[in-house]
Amino acid sequence: MKKSLLRYIACLCLFSMSGCSTVSDPKEDQSALESYNHAMFNFNNKVEKAVIRPVAKGYRAITNDYIRQRVTNFFNNISEPVSAANHLLQGEWHNAAQNVSRLMINTTIGGLGLYDVAAKAGLEQKPTGFDETMAAWCVPDGPYIVLPLIGPSTPRAATGWVADGYSSPAYWVASESDGEDAMLVYYGANGLKYLNKYATNLKLLEGLEESAVDYYETVKAIYLQNRGKIKTCGKVSAENTPDYDFDMDSED
């Protein structure tokens, strides 16, 4: 299983690195990709309105800001080891040490991460992932692409997302456990993570859709502006672009 996983991630890395290369006409490829992106974006939007949004509204109805923040903090705490490992791969030793310190403090004093005690002590969250690691290694981002159900992405972003998921300690604990119940709990927890994030940003997303003249182009522009903030080969290409943070992690 582990060998298959490593081969899968390796293939994704190659896909990411080759994302900008082509042997055909770039203009024709871009036109075909944009047609696909529009179609997939419309499909995702319909699924979102028919399924995801009603579920998110139900989730908001049975929770409040305080509970949703506890859920956010818990999953942020679980992601600290992944961030620490990637900061090490990026040569950012201080940030890696801060991730580890946050994990220790919030897991103990913060009640398994439900409370961000470390932030109140001056240790702010330093999230990162394999996407940023590849960027630091000068791996190109590749073209903008809308993935089924996942939404806006790029080859490098998709590779990083998969790698981060499989490198999470929670995944390995679940995969090494006997029986399938542990994996079901793992996938269920991840479903809660993304539902909580979506529900937290629901009003912002609805307002964005209502105010946008072209919703597809607006989402694409925001996504690519945020991508421009990622350091590639040690440089930031879009330092002065607006900050659209859809995680919206509020202070405790």
Indicate whether 115 belongs to any domain.
Answer: yes
Coil/strand/helix, residue 151: strand
Helix axes 65-78, 80-89, angle to 10 degrees: 40
Q: Structure tokens of 71?
A: 């859920």
Indicate whether 98 belongs to any domain.
Answer: yes
Coil/strand/helix, residue 146: strand
Answering whether pTM is above 0.95, one says no
> For residue 92, is pLDDT > 80?
yes
> For residue 16, is pLDDT > 90?
no
pLDDT in tens, 121-130: 999 999 999 9
Domain limits for position 188: 2-19+47-227
Q: Which amino acid is at 19?
A: G
Residue 248: pLDDT band by 50, 70, 90 thresholds? very low
Identify whether the C-beta of residue 95 lies closer than 8 Å to the C-beta of residue 124. Answer: no
Indicate whether 39 belongs to any domain.
Answer: no
- Lowest-confidence segment of 58-62, 98-102, 237-241 by average pLDDT: 237-241
> For residue 33, is pLDDT > 90?
yes
pLDDT in tens, 136-182: 999 999 999 999 999 999 999 999 999 999 999 999 989 888 777 88
Number of folded domains that form the chain:
1
Indicate whether 245 belongs to any domain.
Answer: no
Indicate whether 252 belongs to any domain.
Answer: no
DSSP codes joined into one string, 147-206: ETTTEEE-HHHHHHHHHHHHH-HHHHHHHHSSSSHHHHHHHHHHHHHHHHHHHHTHHHHH
Indicate whether 133 belongs to any domain.
Answer: yes
Indicate whether 166 belongs to any domain.
Answer: yes
